[in-house]
Amino acid sequence: MTTYAVEISANMERAEQSIQAARQLAAGGYDDFAASRAYYAVFYAASALLLHEGLELSKHSAVIASIHQRFVKTSKLDKEQGRMLNWLFELRSVGDYGGAAHVSAQEAGRAIDAAEEFLKTVRSLLI
């Protein structure tokens, strides 16, 4: 395995674990943290996808911008997944730094569903 192959695999494993954690957190009523984990699942999967293209990025804004440039604008990912990526990033900010604002149970559930769909698509692109 190349260094990137190992990193891609590690990122996808983190993505899968983050989805599992998000589900458990949501089931326990920890919606802020569930939304954050759902976002991180997508971030790790997006990072794996970019590594697959030979691009190693760590800043969240750079990963998001590169996904839009290389995958959404080229229709490898649909526009809705691009919008969900942006929404998850914003929702994660509410969950992690929202102060008096909180993520609702409905939003956390939608975040987990969106993250699962994103991971499914990334898996198909990595084959």
pLDDT digits (tens, 9 = 90+) for 66-92: 999 999 999 999 999 999 999 999 999
Q: 2: pLDDT confidence band, cut at 50, 70 and 90? A: low
* Length reported for the chain: 127
**Token pair belonging to 126:** 């990595």
**CATH 2.70.98.90 matches 3-126:** no
Query: Tokens 């998000």 correspond to what residue?
Result: 22
DSSP string, 50-80: HHHTT----SHHHHHHHHIIIIITTTSS-HH
Residue ranges per domain, the chain? Answer: 3-126
By the 8 A CB rule, do 31 and 18 touch?
Answer: no
* Global model pTM greater than 0.85: yes
Q: Is 66 left (phi over 0), alpha (psi -120 to 50) or beta?
A: alpha
